[in-house]
Amino acid sequence: MERTLYHRLSGGSVDRLAAISDGIFAVTMTLLVLDLHVPVTEEVRRQRPLWSDGAVEPERALWSALTHVGPSALAFALSFLTLGMFWIGQQTQLNYCERGDRQLSWLHLTFLLGVSFMPFSTALLAEYMTVRLALLVYWLNLLVLGLLLLACLRYADRAGLLRPDREPGFTESLRRRILVAQALYLVGVVLALWNTYAGIGLIVLLQLNSAVAPRIRPFDRF
Amino acid sequence: MERTLYHRLSGGSVDRLAAISDGIFAVTMTLLVLDLHVPVTEEVRRQRPLWSDGAVEPERALWSALTHVGPSALAFALSFLTLGMFWIGQQTQLNYCERGDRQLSWLHLTFLLGVSFMPFSTALLAEYMTVRLALLVYWLNLLVLGLLLLACLRYADRAGLLRPDREPGFTESLRRRILVAQALYLVGVVLALWNTYAGIGLIVLLQLNSAVAPRIRPFDRF
Amino acid sequence: MERTLYHRLSGGSVDRLAAISDGIFAVTMTLLVLDLHVPVTEEVRRQRPLWSDGAVEPERALWSALTHVGPSALAFALSFLTLGMFWIGQQTQLNYCERGDRQLSWLHLTFLLGVSFMPFSTALLAEYMTVRLALLVYWLNLLVLGLLLLACLRYADRAGLLRPDREPGFTESLRRRILVAQALYLVGVVLALWNTYAGIGLIVLLQLNSAVAPRIRPFDRF
Amino acid sequence: MERTLYHRLSGGSVDRLAAISDGIFAVTMTLLVLDLHVPVTEEVRRQRPLWSDGAVEPERALWSALTHVGPSALAFALSFLTLGMFWIGQQTQLNYCERGDRQLSWLHLTFLLGVSFMPFSTALLAEYMTVRLALLVYWLNLLVLGLLLLACLRYADRAGLLRPDREPGFTESLRRRILVAQALYLVGVVLALWNTYAGIGLIVLLQLNSAVAPRIRPFDRF
């Protein structure tokens, strides 16, 4: 009895759920940058007395050191944009939820748990970019995020939590989009079984396309 | 006199209290993941030239390295879900507070202080999973969180801060839920005096049940 | 001309200012805990094979290791509560601001800059608790926070940004509270010139009093 | 078809966009402080037994150690205020957006990606303050932030997302302010080709002026 009441009372605020989601996305997306370490190069340090008269060597040494940061910076930017894509997907759902309940809160919290794993799987991929297992872990993380987002949508739909004034085809449209994106991630991974770089490259292209070129027609649905 | 006025003026916004609570929960839940370090395995690194032709050894070395991350990842996920449970509990209370006051703010801030200790006690438990003292510290953290949540509820009830249109039995329902959860944590700790793993296992099961299986009847009230 | 327009347009939203304040307070208060490191004790590790049969030594070794974390944990808790006090002070002001402007935003951002220094000065105090310079840095941080909060209040009052329906004596009440708190911090520092521990102890007592015992009359105004 | 629907449905909430922006700004601004490390000086530690009787040496040793933290603290404070300036610029735009769409969300997310790079480029500048490449990276980060903010403004204007009741000259006023600030950053960098310290000094002055002296007329438009 009291269980029913508590379960009925708790988790009812979609606003609070949106607030903690924004918070966890914001922290996770920003924590990614902590993996970018300022390079410490002995060549730069050794020549410190020469800096003031415009020596070229420290510049070259730092440039060479920065090029090693490049791949990590790329992985960071891509995960940032990927999380942005999932954030847009989740907020679209939440904007159309009229109210929440305890189970919807738990589904979204589990989704957020997957979100907060992204800095780990991103760092793993950046560190071991040519080891397929690292790619697999990264892909599993994306897959779990997609599945949980689908589960959130399905639950909200069946439990009647969605706004009654939503467009017809709302649920179908969101589901199809998640499935298409996930199918393409799968293609990337299968491709990577043959050639690791090709697989990573495809995922990179898909994410860049979603982020910076949403208007190019043939790729526009991904 | 001016004291009374300041105390009357300050802390009146439940919205701001909810906002900083969401922020602290979001940061704390995400900081947990910082304890997951990407493994650095010399076996993987040593064989870098072999990677491009699909060598199996680096995969195995990384897999073996990842298995050592497993327990930490589990502790991280469990603390994430535990904090999610407390977040739902706290937001249910705040959603039913019509207004706040200075003392309510302080009680919730002290609760949030306990929340922000969780990354420390989680890391301690993950590192020394078989030392009972680590389990004790973790349990004390959960106990303090429960007690402070009870104190917040009791104060809001007595000070007349709750919404007058709340369901009858609201306070009783929330209190009973906290007490049942705490009683089960206590059973886990007593069990751990006999066998550490059994105690941890029970808490793990209880938290997983709350999170992913809220519909299985016999366990549903925890 | 366009300067005037931009300055008139920008910074007008008190809600956004409150949101970023909550965010910076939440992150800062939670980052404090990052200074608590799980102790690594060789005695505990060396005896790992003995753990399963309930050996007492690892428990003692961990207990002894944890006692060294104690002072840091205390400094962390105190700074958390101090920041909570300043958060309540700032949100009281913002709740009574009808609207903002560019200059008010900058004053609050500078206040938030001081807030974000707290993890550094707290860690400094925890590390060098008996060096007066560390106490001085910590006190300067608190002093700057108080002065900036006063400046925010004064500016909002003079620029006519406060709600017209505020209680008479609102500004005076907030100002006096800040001044009394700062005066007591000053007493603590002067005391510390004679005996460091006594000075720290007084500040500790004042902050604990604000946090957990707001009802004890004689100390109630601090 | 379903693409169109999803794109039409997603990213419509300016409030959520503002919320994640506040979150990312708050985390980024606070993470800057993590680069300030409490100095560990052996001279201070070695004399620990002498502390209690008020020895002067530990004070001097800590003072000397703290002076080395100074430049980092300055870089941290400046980046904090710079981010504050961009935050005010972005929130002014968002406050005047009546609604959002998917593309506006992506433009702002890309802007936020640039924001989250600031701790890295700040740490790089603090570490290698006399190497021009570090200054160049820092300047590129500021440039990209300015360009993306311009792109956000241009898109919102052309797509008709701005509030119809905005002041005439709104867009022009915001654009001119960004361009003037960027022009001055450029002058700083050109100056730095001749003398690194002069270039950094100019940027420092400009940012301090924006932050603490918005009333001095001749510099008021920057």
- Tens-digit pLDDT profile for residues D28-82: 999 888 777 777 765 555 444 444 444 567 788 888 888 888 777 877 887 888 8
CB B108 within 8 A of CB B21: yes
Which residues in chain B are closer than 8 Å to C177, comparing Cβ atoms?
2-3, 6
Reply yes or no on whether the pLDDT at C152 is more than 70.
yes
Q: Is the pLDDT of residue A17 over 50?
A: yes
Please tell me which residue of chain C has the smallest CA distance to B134. C62
Residue D108 tokens, joined: 């702002």
CA–CA distance, C149 with C90 (Å, rounded to integer): 7
Is the confidence at residue A221, as pLDDT, over 50?
A: no
Q: Assign residue B180 a region (left: φ > 0; alpha: ψ between -120 and 50; beta: otherwise).
A: alpha
Position D143 scores a pLDDT of 94
Chain B residues contacting C via beta carbons under 8 Å: 2-3, 5-7, 9-13, 16, 19-20, 22-24, 26-28, 31, 34, 102-103, 105-106, 109-110, 112-113, 116-117, 119-120, 123-124, 127-128, 130-134, 137, 196
Closest-approach residue (CA) in chain A for D193? A54
Residues from chain A contacting residue D107 (CB–CB below 8 Å): none
Query: What does the pLDDT read at residue C212?
Result: 54
Which chain A residues are closer than 8 Å to B62 by Cβ? 128, 131, 133-134
Output DSSP code: residue A215: T
- D67: enclosing H helix or E strand: helix D57-95
Contacts of A23 in chain C (CB under 8 A): 23, 26
Give the lowest-confidence range in A41-45, A55-59, A151-155, C85-89.
Answer: A41-45
How far apart are the CA of A180 and the nearest CA of chain C, in angstroms? Answer: 35
C7, pLDDT greater than 80 = no
- List CB contacts of D143: < 8 A, sequence separation 6 or more: D182, D185
Contacts of B24 in chain D (CB under 8 A): none
CA A194 to chain centre: 25
Residue D167: per-residue pLDDT:
81
CB nearest to D52's CB, from C103, C119, C130 = C130
Closest by Cα among D21, D197, D183, D185 to D114: D21
Q: Which amino acid is at B167?
A: E
Highest mean pLDDT range out of A76-85, A120-129, A140-149, D169-178?
A140-149
Mean pLDDT of A183-203: 77
Interface B-D: count of C-beta contacts within 8 A: 4
Structure tokens at B25: 């929960």
The residue of B128, B140, B152, B194 whose CB has the most chain C CBs within 10 angstroms, and thus the best one to mutate to test that interface, is B128
Q: Which of B9-18, C106-115, C131-140, D172-181 has the lowest mean pLDDT?
A: B9-18
Cβ pair B75, B33 in contact under 8 A: no
Residue type, D50: L
Question: What is the distance between the alpha carbons of residues C101 and C92, in angstroms, rounded to a whole number?
Answer: 17
Banded model confidence at residue C209, pLDDT cuts 50, 70, 90: low
Range of weakest confidence among A213-217, B153-157, C133-137, D168-172:
A213-217
Compute the nearest-CA separation of A24 from chain C (Å): 11
Determine the residue type at D12: G
- The DSSP annotation for A53-69 comes to GT-SHHHHHHHHHHHHH
pLDDT at C131 over 70: yes
Write down the ipTM of this complex.
0.81
Q: What is the pLDDT of residue A111?
A: 95
Indicate yes or no: pTM above 0.90: no
In the numeric block, the tokens 């200012």 are attached to: C17
Q: For chain A, which chains pass the contact test of at least 3 CB pairs under 8 Å?
A: B, C, D
Q: Please write the tens of the pLDDT for every residue from B45-64.
A: 544 444 444 456 778 888 88
- List of chain C residues whose C-beta atoms are within 8 Å of the C-beta of residue D149: none
- Which of A110-119, B16-25, B73-82 has the lowest average pLDDT? B73-82
State the first-to-last Cα distance of chain D, in angstroms, to the nearest integer.
Answer: 47
- CB–CB of D10 and A88 under 8 A? yes
Q: Is residue C58 within 8 Å of residue C51, measured between CB atoms?
A: yes
Q: Neighbouring chains of C at 3+ CB pairs within 8 Å?
A: A, B, D
Confidence at residue C44, expressed as pLDDT on a 0 to 100 scale: 54
CB atoms within 10 A of CB A150: 15
Q: What is the mean pLDDT of residues C139-156?
A: 93
For the stretch B134-191, pLDDT in tens is 888 988 999 999 999 999 999 999 988 888 888 888 888 889 888 988 888 888 878 8
Predicted local confidence at residue D48, as pLDDT:
46
Nearest CB among C62, C81, C173 relative to B9 is that of C173
Check pLDDT > 50 for residue C136: yes
Verify whether the Cβ–Cβ distance A133 to B59 is below 8 Å.
yes
| Mutate: best of C57, C92, C165, C208, partner B, most B CBs <10 A | C92
State whether D33 and C9 contact (CB < 8 Å). no
Q: Quick one: tokens of D61? A: 């040793």
Q: How far is CA D163 from the centre of its chain?
A: 27
C19-76 residue pLDDT tens: 999 999 999 999 888 777 777 765 555 444 444 444 567 788 888 888 888 777 877 8
pLDDT of residue C111: 95
Q: What is the mean pLDDT of chain C?
A: 79
CB pairs under 8 A between A and C: 4
Q: Using CB atoms within 10 Å of the CB of residue C164, give its burial: 0 to 12 exposed, 13 to 18 middle, 19+ buried.
A: exposed
Dihedral Cα A109, A112, A113, A114, nearest 10 deg:
130
What is the separation, in whole angstroms, between the first and last Cα of chain A? 47
Instruction: Tell me how far apart the alpha carbons of residues A125 and B184 are, in angstroms, rounded to a whole number.
Output: 40
Q: What is the mean pLDDT of residues A160-167?
A: 86
- Best probe of the A interface among C24, C27, C34, by most A CBs < 10 A, is C27
Q: Which residue type is seen at B221?
A: R
Pick the closest to residue B83 from B115, B112, B108 (CA basis).
B115
Q: How close, in Å, is residue C33 to chain B by CA atoms?
A: 7
Residues C205 and C221: their CA atoms lie apart, in Å, by 13
State the sign of the Cα–Cα–Cα–Cα dihedral C202, C207, C211, C214. Answer: positive
Interface test with B, best of C21, C36, C38 (most B CBs within 10 A): C38
**A80 in helix, strand or coil?**
helix
pLDDT < 50 positions in chain D: 1-3, 46-54, 213-222
Instruction: Determine the Cα–Cα distance for residues B55 and B51; give it in Å rounded to an integer.
Output: 5
